[in-house]
Structure 1
């Protein structure tokens, strides 16, 4: 199982509806290609993990890099993992600052990654959810 994790910066004009569209298309494509993962968007940056067949994950990442809603895309890790870290999620997602209800964004992301076996991946997503971007990006 191949896993790729990246971070990118959203273009300034990316709206909530754009992120919803990214998710809808990603979920459809990922279900077709048997790719799983997690996408977190904090209004400034995207952090995403993708896992599945190496060629299919690489093709998905090529589409992401070509998407004009992303810029400054940086691969944080590429590695083989013994099993899926994100279960059967076609693309779980959360948006910082848009969380509703009694739970904060960090609490929601912590809950999403609680079952992820790799402590480094859990820490990466949990730390990202705790960054305060209001003071500048």
Structure 2
């Protein structure tokens, strides 16, 4: 084995399974945010039961566009095992949980398009609290 190969092996950080799971969950949240962005642009319709409504709302476009950027940055930071990503995930998924919860309470139907987002953000929030995840990001 050459010296360069040995040096590369010792400097490469192993990526724990918890980091991979968090990156996958953040990827799902990114896809959901892209879907909401397309709804806000009027490209995809909002579904209310059997009714489809297309609507353009610039405020929603700006906010969901920001969320797409936030989740894309979070995936990159998680993949690089940045300790700041752990705190960032806690804050972003916590706020998303809160906002989705209040939006679902105010909805007139029992199932909204935010239900999937609520579940994914709940999983991200819960998974970041696990001791193994904290250890992977060196926050303990």
The verdict on a shared fold, with TM-score over 0.5 as the criterion, is no
Larger Rg: 2
Higher helix share: 2
TM-score (norm 1): 0.31
TM-score scaled by length of structure 2:
0.31
Q: Which has the higher strand share?
A: 1
